[in-house]
Amino acid sequence: MVEGIEDAIGKKQGISLAQPLWRAEQIRKMEQRWAEREGQALYALMERAGAALCSYARHHWPQSHHWWIFVGSGNNGGDGYVLARLARRLGLEPLVIAARAPGLLRGDARRAADEWLAAGGEVMMADALEGASLPSPDLVIDALLGTGVQLPLSLPMTKIVSTINGLNAPVLAVDLPSGLNADTGRAMGALVHATRTLSFIGIKQGMLTADGVDGVGQLDWDPLGVVPEAGLVPAAERLDYPRLKNLLFPRPRSAHKGKHGKVLLVGGNLGMQGAILLAGQACLRAGAGLVRLCQHPDSPPASLVQPELMGCPVGMDEGWASVRVLGPGLGQDEWGRAQFEHHLNASGPLVLDADGLNWLAQAPRHQDNWVLTPHPGEAARLLDCGVAEVEADRFAAVSRLQQRYGGVVLLKGAGSLICDGQRISLCDEGNPGMASGGMGDLLSGIIAALLAQGWSAGMAARLGAVIHAEASDLAAAEGERGMLASDLLPWIRRLVNPTP
């Protein structure tokens, strides 16, 4: 029994981040178009960024006084120089630590450095930091590298990043943590691990997946007054439960079980009955009308654990189900192969997971009636590549999967991605407690239940992802380590019945 469930959900649902996610090149074009439209130099945005950073830092660390501001050679460094000038004006003690001498800078970054020096500021070169006798910082600002990082960091820059990560002080990253590829979310060698990140103009898609989730810390966003032009299509969209919960409208009073779908789950080979049991329980808790399990004949009936889960007598699978789930605990023996081949061609929506995906990788085919839910290892097998290649660019990987196999693809992981061939959605909720057995089985059951109740495949995958992740965040209030998949079941029921 979950205690205080309403209070817990209320605390979890805070202010939501922006929904559109952008590639770095899109942000640069937005800045240029803003400057042309407003008739201003881009330096005006640098001034706004510096002011936003100063206000943000003062708000979150009001007692801080000694700021170490690490600046690079580009516009990210220019933001840092503006911040230093404004902080000094407020009576703080900013120490500017530069990766490149101010005299070697160009463009707006050079102008910002010159104004800092003209205001009486000084610059310490990063290579002189080691061994220097300095008061310890109570706030570190990472203004080293911006959105243009495409290659692994140089050895000198790697050393600076290591220094930042080794300081005993909170770290504020400017726009995004240095070393992060803004488009893919991969760390390009070293990566600053920020306490908080203030992103500008728009949130970059790589900040919310792969290594980005470890680098950004608490993410906030300031558009700096720049509004995307009408018709500009984001690279991806960010999903969260508060934005989608209103789609889970109350049922009519006349509702009955026949109106909410019949789901058949196929799997549960010997020794793996827990997978299909969890999927079936999640399916029930997410609102499916009737649920049957087709599992190995020598497996004990699931009804011994969950009475509402029915078995599947011989012949019952023909024409009964409105939705099927194929894969949880299916196995890769002859029984598993036979079930895969039998159920793959059935009509109606299909959710394919676990060993269902492993069988598909051995005999690839394209269908539009399914939702595929691979983790990176399964995705690698489906794409005939290594896991590292999948994780190097998860956005490219999920697009390739959808193009090759059709339907809707949900690539699980930190920052799960959903691609339906038209758009990519990203769910950034969830936590490391989900790294345990059975979590993916729950997701398959939730998605199947939503399909059975009439949602489209794309929306069932998106809703399923946020319900699954939100439930895990709520369950993790008692601790991430040791959290079990079954701990999410009562939260799933509550989340598919949102209160106004």
257 is in an annotated binding site: no
329 is in an annotated binding site: yes
152 is in an annotated binding site: yes
463 is in an annotated binding site: no
178 is in an annotated binding site: yes
Scanning 301-429, the segments in alpha helix (DSSP H) are: 334-344, 355-362, 376-383, 387-392, 394-405
Say if CB 244 and CB 290 are below 8 A apart.
Answer: no
Among candidate residues 355, 170, 374, 387, the one with its CA nearest the CA of residue 269:
355
306 is in an annotated binding site: no
146 is in an annotated binding site: yes
415 is in an annotated binding site: yes
114 is in an annotated binding site: no
79 is in an annotated binding site: yes
353 is in an annotated binding site: no
275 is in an annotated binding site: yes
440 is in an annotated binding site: yes
214 is in an annotated binding site: no
Q: What is the gyration radius of the CA atoms in the chain, in angstroms?
A: 26
148 is in an annotated binding site: yes
Sheet holding 370-372, edge to edge: 203-204, 20-22, 236-239, 424-427, 416-419, 408-411, 370-372, 350-352, 323-326, 262-266, 290-294
List all residues 6 or more positions away from 190 whose beta carbon is below 8 Å from its beta carbon. 153, 157, 158, 161, 162, 179
Among candidate residues 173, 126, 115, 167, the one with its CA nearest the CA of residue 147:
173
Within 13 A of 200's CA, how many CA atoms are on the CB side?
Answer: 25
346 is in an annotated binding site: no
List all residues 6 or more positions away from 333 whose beta carbon is below 8 Å from its beta carbon. 269
303 is in an annotated binding site: no
76 is in an annotated binding site: yes
Among candidate residues 389, 411, 391, the one with its CA nearest the CA of residue 401:
411
414 is in an annotated binding site: yes
**Three-class DSSP category at 53:** helix
**Residues 279, 282, 287, 289: is their CA dihedral positive or negative?**
positive
How far is it, in rounded angstroms, from Cα 394 to Cα 282?
A: 27
* Residue indicated by tokens 């008061």: 135
Residues tagged in the binding site annotation for K(+): 76, 142, 178
Where is the binding site for (6S)-NADPHX, in residues?
75-79, 146-152, 175, 275, 329, 375, 441
Binding-site members for AMP are: 412-416, 440
- Residues within the annotated binding site? 75-79, 142, 146-152, 175, 178, 275, 329, 375, 412-416, 440-441
